[in-house]
Amino acid sequence: MTLARNICAHSDRLFSFHSKFFMSFKLIDSSYKVNNNSTNLYMLIRCMEKILNKDDYEELIKLVETEFNKLKESIKSIDAKVILKVMGYPNV
């Protein structure tokens, strides 16, 4: 999570975040299929569910959805599903 924080602090691209530091995801979402031994943005967002209280986590999800919906409306060169896949979202 420190790596993701540093990316945000230095205005880098967070959507394509991947870390070589593998995060075991079994306790958060046992059905999630990890394609490689790296951690992605979806995994970090889901981990925040364990750290934040319920209201704060729901607010985080709303903010992410709002920003993603704005992005979907503004981009024309790539399908939004491709971006979700890069972020690590399952079932896209």
Residue 71 domain-assigned (yes or no) = yes
Q: Report yes or no: 46 and 87 within 8 Å, Cβ to Cβ.
A: no
Residue 41 domain-assigned (yes or no) = yes
Segments forming the whole domain that contains residue 57: 2-87
Strand partners, 39: 19
Q: Is the pTM of this model over 0.85?
A: no
How much is the pLDDT for 35? 67
Joined tokens for residue 88: 């690590």
* H or E segment and range at residue 39: strand 39-40
Question: Within a 10 A sphere around the Cβ of 12, how many other Cβ atoms?
Answer: 11
Structure confidence by residue, pLDDT tens digits, 32-81: 877 666 788 888 888 889 899 999 999 999 999 999 999 999 998 999 99
Joined tokens for residue 84: 């979700």
How much is the pLDDT for 36? 67
Question: Would you say the C-alpha torsion 40, 71, 2, 60 has a positive or negative sign?
Answer: negative
User: Helix H segments across the chain?
Assistant: 2-9, 41-51, 54-74, 80-87
Domain count along the chain? 1
Residue 92 domain-assigned (yes or no) = no
